[in-house]
Amino acid sequence: MASNQYFIRNQDALHYLTITVVDWVDVFTRKEYKLKIIDSLRYCQKQKGLRIFGWCLMSNHMHLLATASNEFRLSDIIRDFKKFTSKQIVSAIQNETESRREWMLHRFEYAGKYKSNVKDFKFWQDGNHAIECYNADFSRQKLQYIHQNPVRALIVEEAEDYTFSSARDYSGLKGLLEIEFL
């Protein structure tokens, strides 16, 4: 169970979030699954008031530096995002060519087996590891951490070379999502 310190208490504050696939399954190695996440984030920005200041999608988790527009609640946006993307990606795994289909579906089915709120498959871990950004220095530190994630994983040498990250935007390149700068 997630610690109370990692819940979104102040819905108006900027938060550093980590959203993780159950069992750290490397789902986002396929372009199709990554694009489903991007499309859903874009929808949340346009329709649900999600404001993104930084982001990075890795193979089994995603970091966001985000808040919500005034009339929206960040916790509601993230809840809806996780519910929608869970269904979308599990459906894609079931219906598209996927060499790891049986193994992944077994992991997601087992993760939800003893959860009363899970119907068939549990894709995302509970919680968002939400940490409120209490000042500008802390926010910049978290943004740096987010952008260096693919560098630390030896995926790229320079953060801006990683397509699925806002590091591109911060270096003057066009990224996949509209972001707001810190």
Cα 89 to its chain centre, rounded Å, is 13
> Could you report the per-residue pLDDT of 68-118, keeping only the tens digit for each?
998 899 999 999 999 999 999 999 999 988 899 999 999 998 888 777 666
DSSP 123: -
The Cα–Cα gap between 31 and 181 comes to: 26
* Identity of residue 35: L
Q: Are 143 and 153 in contact (CB under 8 A)?
A: no
Ranges of each domain in the chain:
4-170
> Could you report the per-residue pLDDT of 95-106, keeping only the tens digit for each?
988 899 999 999
Average pLDDT over residues 5-16: 84
Within 10 A of 68 (CB to CB), how many other CB atoms are there?
23
pLDDT band at 121 (very low <50, low <70, confident <90, very high): confident
**Whose CA is closest to 64, among 83, 45, 46?**
45
- pLDDT at 3 > cutoff 50: no
Q: Are 132 and 14 in contact (CB under 8 A)?
A: yes
- pLDDT at 1 > cutoff 50: no
pLDDT band at 10 (very low <50, low <70, confident <90, very high): confident
State whether residue 138 is helix, strand or coil.
Answer: helix
User: Helices then strands (H, E): number in the chain?
Assistant: 5, 4
Quote the tokens at residue 172: 């003057």
Within 10 A of 88 (CB to CB), how many other CB atoms are there?
16
> Could you report the per-residue pLDDT of 38-62, keeping only the tens digit for each?
999 999 999 999 999 999 999 999 9
Is the domain covering 4-170 a CATH 3.30.365.10 domain? no
Quote the tokens at residue 102: 């049986």
Whole-structure pTM value: 0.92
The Cα–Cα gap between 143 and 28 comes to: 21
Return the pLDDT at 92: 95
